[in-house]
Amino acid sequence: MLKTTRREVVLSATAVAALGLAGPLEFMPSALAADAREKGFVSYKIGDIECTSVYDGIWQKKHDDGFIRNASVDETKAALTKAGLSPEFVPIEFAQTVLKTGDRTLLIDAGTGGQLAPTAGMTMKHMAAAGIDAGSIDTILISHFHPDHIFGLMAKETNEQVFPNAEIIVPETEYKFWTDPALIDKLPERRKGLAKRIQATFPTWKNIRQIGDDVEVAPGVRSVSAFGHTPGHTVFHVASGDDQLVVAGDIANVPALFVANPTWEAVFDADPKMATEARLKLFDRAIADKAIVAGYHFGFPNAGTIAKDGKGYVFQPAGA
């Protein structure tokens, strides 16, 4: 149950039925999104599985012509304005998901570790506010190896493990790509540092386990390959009773841009065509299955539903 000093919102019986849920799902309404960010977490349930969205922060990215390969800065600003957001910058927010299923506590993606934007890196603070002891996390699921998803695993100066007692589960395709010694010479200069850091850490850690597609990593939690954003990008399907949740990693970035315009190609996508195909497939599956979708960059609260909207889609935060 969501605890807040302001009123809680419980989806109506009609909304619950429309989402295919067995019972009430409680979320902070979008009108209180600023309060949710300040609080730093939102809790809800998927069947018997306890879920907590944890807010890591935001990167107020400056506009540049190369950010979206097939859309201009003017089109980007227009899309932000249409969604009621400021067109002054691209609001790339970070939010992780913690699951408690059976006797397991899972963290999906590790956050920025305070090593990217000065307005991000609040995961530990907000987990504590949610009553989640970082030491209680026994499993960490990593969707892919971009810095905002893995830097929270390692200390800034020393690369010392932040979660040495947790099993870190990673996609095997992603692991093999980034740990290939021949990779560094193939990368542009701006990306070499990431590959070097991965190769200096992950192969030496004994608590990493590689998995493939459709592997049950915990009760009710399975891996789903969604390659394209990176060579091994993976999302996680959560099911309990009649309820379903897809923790979607970077299947799309800012909803106002890449959910509304699912064929727009972000510079972050390694294979733009494959990433677009994976995005469309996941959105259509989520709609068909009436599943909740939690996107890493979907703002806060970061979980809600996807619906068709003309040629694109719309993300509706739960409780909005």
Angle ∠(132,151,255) on CA atoms, nearest 5: 80
pLDDT tens by residue, 293-318: 999 999 998 999 999 999 999 999 87
Return the percentage of the chain with pLDDT > 70, whole number.
89
- Say whether 233 sits in a helix, a strand or coil: coil
Q: Which residue has the higher pLDDT, 18 or 2?
A: 18
Per-residue pLDDT band at 1 (split at 50, 70, 90) = very low
What's residue 319's pLDDT?
60
DSSP 301: S
DSSP string, 113-168: TTSS-TTB--HHHHHHHTT--GGG--EEE-S---HHHHGGGB-TTT--BSSTTSEE
Cβ distance 173 to 231 under 8 Å?
A: yes
Give the span between the Cα atoms of 189 and 192, in whole angstroms. 5
- 317 forms beta bridges with 304
What's residue 32's pLDDT?
57
> Across the chain, what does the average pLDDT equal?
90
- Say whether 275 sits in a helix, a strand or coil: helix
DSSP string, 47-63: TTEEEEEEEEEEEEEPP
Token readout for 299 is 């703002």
Residues 6+ apart with CB under 8 A from 133: 127
Inform me whether the pLDDT recorded for 15 exceeds 60. no
Per-residue pLDDT band at 320 (split at 50, 70, 90) = low
299: left (phi over 0), alpha (psi -120 to 50) or beta: left
Within 13 Å of residue 249, how many CA atoms lie on the same side as its CB? 34
The helix or strand, by DSSP H or E, that contains position 258, with its residue range, turns out to be none
DSSP 46: E
- For residue 130, report the phi and psi dihedrals to the nearest 5 degrees: -85, 0
Per-residue pLDDT band at 5 (split at 50, 70, 90) = very low
Q: What is the mean pLDDT of residues 233-238?
A: 98
Per-residue pLDDT band at 27 (split at 50, 70, 90) = very low
pLDDT tens by residue, 36-49: 788 899 999 999 99
What's residue 9's pLDDT?
30
User: Domain 9-317 classified CATH 3.60.15.10?
Assistant: yes
Pairing assessment for the beta strands 49-61 and 90-101 based on DSSP bridges: antiparallel
Per-residue pLDDT band at 28 (split at 50, 70, 90) = very low
Give the span between the Cα atoms of 124 and 54, in whole angstroms. 9
What's residue 250's pLDDT?
98
pLDDT tens by residue, 143-190: 999 999 999 999 999 999 999 999 999 999 999 999 999 999 999 999
- Look at the block and give the residue holding tokens 């992780």: 96
- Say whether 13 sits in a helix, a strand or coil: helix
Q: How much is the pTM?
A: 0.90
Of the candidates 155, 47, 137, the one whose C-alpha atom is nearest the C-alpha of residue 96 is 137
What's residue 37's pLDDT?
85
What's residue 30's pLDDT?
46
What's residue 24's pLDDT?
35
DSSP 310: T
pLDDT tens by residue, 102-144: 999 999 999 999 999 999 999 999 999 999 999 999 999 999 9
